[in-house]
Amino acid sequence: MTHERYHLGAKWIAALLDAVQAGEVREALRSAAGAEDLKTWTRLMTDAVAAASIPLGWVIAAKGHKLDLLPQAGQEYLSLDGMAFDAAAAPDGARWHWPIAVFELENNHTDDRTAYSLWKVLNVAAPLRVVVAYRRTWDEANALPGVLAEAVIRTTMPVERWNAIDGEVLLVIGSRSDGRSFPWDFFRFWRFDPGVGRFSKVVGAGA
């Protein structure tokens, strides 16, 4: 691993942590997580993912965030929950842009649904691919990265293929917390390591 390889994901994580602490979002997210109001939690997280794009200079298409950058305006391209673009980096005169990041937000508690979200983002070429999920307990959350790596990557790809996964693949898992430190006790982050075919916890991000 090199710091250069993971620079984009680190910047996005920092931007997301700032976004979830802004204004009324902070208390609303805490309340939704504690009540397991996952519809509200997902809506707020979608807004936070969109807000995190702004300081990075990106524009994003997501539910409630219609984008008209492309000739075909939309909210959820390719049925993905979020797709971000760095329009400033595109060639002059470009009308069709390639995503810099894609996002899936999955509040269903079943591992298969979350695995489907991971499978979806892995099928899209982008420097950053992110799956955001929720689990009732941290025991469940801590087990999820291993389950997903085994189900979606290790048992379906030859070693040379997972070694060649480019860009960054991040998992963001939220849960309820007995702690008072928000967002640190409410979110944890993992990054896929193609060298070993597993997710590793991102040090210094989340509890």
pLDDT in tens, 124-177: 999 999 999 999 888 999 999 999 999 999 999 999 988 889 999 999 999 887
**DSSP per-residue codes, 123-165:** TS--SEEEEEEE-SSHHHHHHHHHHHIIIIIITTS-HHHHHT-
pLDDT in tens, 95-134: 999 999 999 999 888 899 999 999 999 999 999 999 999 9
Cβ atoms within 10 Å of 91's Cβ, excluding its own? 6
Q: Do the domain assignments include residue 2?
A: no
Q: Do the domain assignments include residue 78?
A: yes
Residue 5: its pLDDT value, please?
56
Quote the number of domains for the chain: 1
Residue 185: its pLDDT value, please?
81
Q: Do the domain assignments include residue 1?
A: no
Residues linked to residue 188 through DSSP beta bridges, in sequence order: 173, 206
Where in the sequence is the domain holding 77, given as residue range(s)? 7-206
Mean pLDDT of the chain: 90
